[in-house]
Amino acid sequence: MILVTGGAGYIGAHVALELLEEGHDVVVLDNLCNSSLETLSRVETLSGRQVEFIHGDVRSKATLNRLFARHPVKAVVHCAGLKAVGESVREPLRYFETNVSGSVNLCQAMEQAGVFNLLFSSSATVYGDREQMPLDENCPLGLPTNPYGHSKLMAEHVMKSVARSDPRWSIGLLQYFNPIGAHPSGLLGESPCNTPNNLLPFLLQVANRRRPALHIFGTDYPTPDGTGVRDYLHVMDLAEGHLKALDRIRGQKGVSVWNLGTMPTALVS
């Protein structure tokens, strides 16, 4: 059985679906702060299989301990966390509590349960504001420009320290760029319950006439039209990358790092 934290969210739901379609049993832990059970219902419809759902939070040690005591979890895909850059600037403590302390709690619960295979859904923000392109796994980590990036980097440091201290651990860190897109069926996509934080949901809301216009921020970047550059990755490719990484870490020890993205990059405009 595979535990997917944040499995009702955009990326977690696609990962859960891929796992189910590959024949794995899946248990999802999610506090539904920016997702809904409707997403998991659609995952079940698409896969033809049942998902075990636990309404809970990685910040709760008691919830995590009960989960591992009651379910035969063999590996964890850790997608739970807060991810809005702007919000992280306004509420840094909330981000550190969820993304860092929550990851510490998860590692502690896993260790207590004897589960040592962990795949962490991290972010390319851990590289900071680097001019070097393309970024590869050998690039030194930089200084993130916001609390969200810092929280991901701190969680990575926690996991690397854990793996160095105990050779039983096998940890994969997925540092990916900007996921976009939806499942080919159209049943799964990025549908945040709160205000969107990424470009594509805003664009779709304009197309659906739920917003009057799309405002692009930033016009002084060193690009042909002054708008920013993004490395977009289809969410289905990202989910497949999670499965391949999970297979890899289950056959090795220590920490492995993979960047997930596409080249060339695209202008926001």
Q: For the domain that residue 241 is a member of, what is the CATH number?
A: 3.40.50.720
Domain that holds residue 38: 2-182+229-267
Structure token digits, residue 52: 């075990």
Per residue of the chain (269 residues), give pLDDT as tens.
Answer: 999 999 999 999 999 999 999 999 999 999 999 899 999 999 999 999 999 999 999 999 999 999 999 999 999 999 999 998 889 999 999 999 999 999 999 999 999 999 999 999 999 888 877 666 677 788 878 889 899 999 999 999 999 999 999 999 999 999 988 888 889 998 888 765 555 555 555 455 555 666 676 555 555 555 556 555 556 788 999 999 999 999 999 888 999 999 987 755 544 44
* Residue 87 counted as domain residue: yes
* Residue 153 counted as domain residue: yes
**132 class by beta-carbon count within 10 Å (0-12 exposed, 13-18 middle, 19+ buried):** exposed
**62 class by beta-carbon count within 10 Å (0-12 exposed, 13-18 middle, 19+ buried):** exposed
* Residue 84 counted as domain residue: yes
65, 109 Cβ separation under 8 angstroms: yes
* Residue 222 counted as domain residue: no
| pLDDT attached to residue 148 | 95
| pLDDT attached to residue 267 | 42
* Residue 219 counted as domain residue: no
* Residue 145 counted as domain residue: yes
| pLDDT attached to residue 113 | 98
Residue of 10, 127, 148, 176 marked active site: 148
Please confirm, yes or no, whether 148 is among the known catalytic residues. Answer: yes
* Residue 244 counted as domain residue: yes
**pTM (whole model) above 0.75:** yes
* Residue 208 counted as domain residue: no
Report the domain count for the chain. 1
